[in-house]
Amino acid sequence: MCGIVGYIGHQPAAPILVEGLTRLEYRGYDSAGLAVLGSRGTTAVRRVGRVRELQAALPSRLTGKVGIGHTRWATHGPAVEQNAHPHRSGDGRISVVHNGIIDNAATLRTQLAQDGVTLLSDTDTEVIAHLIARSEAETLEEAVLDALSRITGTYALAVLDERHPDRIVLARSGSPLIIGIGDKEMLVASDVAALVRHTNQVVHLDDGELATVTPAGYRTFDRGNSPTTREPVEISVAAEDLELSGYPHYMLKEIHEQPEAAAMVLRGRLDERFATARLDGLGLEPRELRGFRRVKILGCGSAYYVGQLGAQLIEDLARIPADAEAASEFRYRKPIIEPDTLYVAVSQSGETADTAFAVEEIKRKGGRVIGLVNVVGSTIARTVDGGVYLHAGPEISVASTKALTNMSLAFALLALHLGRLHDLSHADGDRILRGLQRIPEQLEEMLSRAAEIEPLAREIAKARSAFYIGRVHGYPVAREGAQKLKEISYIHAEAYPTSELKHGPLALIDEEMPTIAIIPDDELAERNLAAAEQVLARRGPLVAITHASVGLGHLDARTILVPKNEPELDPILLTIPTQLLAYQVAVLLGHDVDKPRNLAKSVTVE
């Protein structure tokens, strides 16, 4: 969500901060600001709107070589300038940028006001700046520790102090924070995307850890002010990976990157000799995997819907009970953590706060949890017991596409691996393996026919609401399709199991309510066609995402044909047209496809 950048070194800080904030725009924000510390003190500039508006407002001569910047997504208080970051102490000495939420901010605000402090914003962050400034500690590090001792909640903090212009102090608890190592310069960011032009060596702070960065290096320590050891790691993301490369939107670029991304997640993981998947990163021996009697999948948003698809794959291939649950609800219902359950956390960014907290709850109670994560070195990737990296490459658009497809493929690999450890025959294992090998080529085929969807998109763009329906394997596809349409086109969309249509939703079907039906060629095709008949009988426009082998007969439906694969793998391919449809509808309606309103790429607060 919110983005943090920081710089200290031998170059003017402002241009580097602006560039870093621009790199973080995809995370979602409504205001931006920076503070640069120079020989005459701190210059702070904040603006509501885009980073380009902040850049236009900067003084022409802003030469300080240490600074912090922020893009804010409103939580406490509306998107107005006084609520934008950085926030400063009353005397202007302390400047703070913060991601996360301070739970006891209201109490602290009351206490500060009673002590005569004037609060200028509605935010929780401002209290941190005042607490640090009011500390009697001799060092900035000790002052930050004093402030942290009084707050509860989640935070990633970067702090400047005019009395200590040679350093930035950082703190992390529940929200990501990364140090970038340069040549006589150091950088700070909440996301590696802000660092890739300047370094490929980074340090990930752990929860409860703090750091001091100076031009010469960094020092990490814990809440007790005792040193910690944190070694740099190399990142593989290149700056060109974050460019549009001639596409009008990142979402379209990432849709078209799916064949290559799919090949990457499968590469080296298909064992033809034993007709299984090779998943060394799980860190689990066959005997341990056979000991699990249930699989519980946890994710949020699209990752949750892919988790439902994954649960079906595991039940189909491994014959182990499996289900998916919204990670955002999991820890609040006092879950029973069973020793014979394998927990799977799914997150593109690896920083999704609700999912990370669910992982912590499982581990605290002794459960075994693995991750399906795209970002190496992310919080969830470092917390879980093992896992499968998605290898989708950087994903910038808020609406996930290629990472989503790679999640599905990773679940197929996990299901195949578990299946072959149980009762899945060599012949069926080989059948699934061959199906997986066909998927990159089939993705390429579908994307080559993307223009065929545009006439359907023009019809859907006229609607105010839409239904997505699917049965069993098609239902997670329907849920994800509805999610995509609503989040980037702002058209209200609902997903229902096809069998539930007659139990209430059918009342809403009329000439202005289109239905997108997921109709694979499987044992339920006839029942799905019968439901389509019910929609058409009520004059509802119908779009069928289906296989050529499904005979629609006399049905007056617009069709989107998908290549046929194995029945268990068909949902992966059936999802692709829902991405293209949502994208084209959003473009036709003139929306900002990559930055849908009110949403963020990486949801790092509850």
Tell me what pLDDT residue 115 has: 93
564 and 507 in one domain?
yes
218 and 269 in one domain?
no
Average pLDDT over residues 109-121: 93
CATH number of the domain where residue 414 is located: 3.40.50.10490
- In tens, the pLDDT along 377-405 reads 888 999 999 999 999 988 989 899 999 99
Better pLDDT: 375 or 461: 461
73 and 10 in one domain?
yes
489 and 441 in one domain?
no
Percent of the chain residues past pLDDT 90, beyond the cut: 75
Beta carbons of 446 and 573 less than 8 angstroms apart? yes
170 and 45 in one domain?
yes
Average pLDDT over residues 19-39: 88
- In tens, the pLDDT along 448-460 reads 999 999 999 999 9
pTM: 0.85
Catalytic site residue from 296, 484, 595, 601 = 601
Please confirm, yes or no, whether 300 is among the known catalytic residues.
no
Domain containing 523 equals 451-588
Number of H helices, E strands in the chain: 18, 26
Say if residue 556's pLDDT is above 80.
no
Q: How confident is the model at residue 530 (pLDDT cuts 50, 70, 90)?
A: confident
Q: Is the residue at 300 inside a domain?
A: yes
- Given 242, 263, 293, the domain boundary residue is 242
Tell me what pLDDT residue 595 has: 85
Please confirm, yes or no, whether 2 is among the known catalytic residues.
yes
Q: How confident is the model at residue 227 (pLDDT cuts 50, 70, 90)?
A: very high
Nearest to 97 by CA among 196, 235, 194: 194
176 and 118 in one domain?
yes
- In tens, the pLDDT along 164-182 reads 999 999 999 988 899 999 9
Nearest to 158 by CA among 197, 199, 187, 193: 187
490 and 572 in one domain?
yes
- In tens, the pLDDT along 417-433 reads 999 999 999 999 999 99
437 and 487 in one domain?
no
Say if residue 494's pLDDT is above 70.
yes
Q: What is the DSSP letter of 354?
A: H
In degrees rounded to 5, what are phi and psi of residue 431? -60, -45
234 and 257 in one domain?
no
> Which of 12-21, 112-121, 437-446, 597-606 is predicted with the least confidence, judged by mean pLDDT?
597-606
71 and 149 in one domain?
yes
Nearest to 359 by CA among 348, 349, 346: 346
Q: Is the residue at 604 inside a domain?
A: no
Q: Is the residue at 396 inside a domain?
A: yes
439 and 461 in one domain?
no
Catalytic site residue from 2, 253, 296, 486 = 2
Say if residue 1's pLDDT is above 60.
no
443 and 472 in one domain?
no
Tell me what pLDDT residue 506 has: 81
Q: How confident is the model at residue 234 (pLDDT cuts 50, 70, 90)?
A: confident
Q: Is the residue at 151 inside a domain?
A: yes
Q: Is the residue at 599 inside a domain?
A: no
Residue burial 216-247, b: 16+ Cβ < 10 Å; e: rest: eebebbeeeeeeeebeeeebebeeeebeeeee
Largest CA distance in the chain: 82
Q: How confident is the model at residue 606 (pLDDT cuts 50, 70, 90)?
A: low
As a whole number of angstroms, the distance between CA 6 and CA 194 comes to 10
Number of structural domains in the chain = 3
Q: Is the residue at 190 inside a domain?
A: yes
Tell me what pLDDT residue 602 has: 66
Percent of the chain residues past pLDDT 70, beyond the cut: 98
Better pLDDT: 237 or 290: 290
CATH number of the domain where residue 91 is located: 3.60.20.10
Tell me what pLDDT residue 605 has: 60
Tell me what pLDDT residue 555 has: 77
Q: Is the residue at 600 inside a domain?
A: no
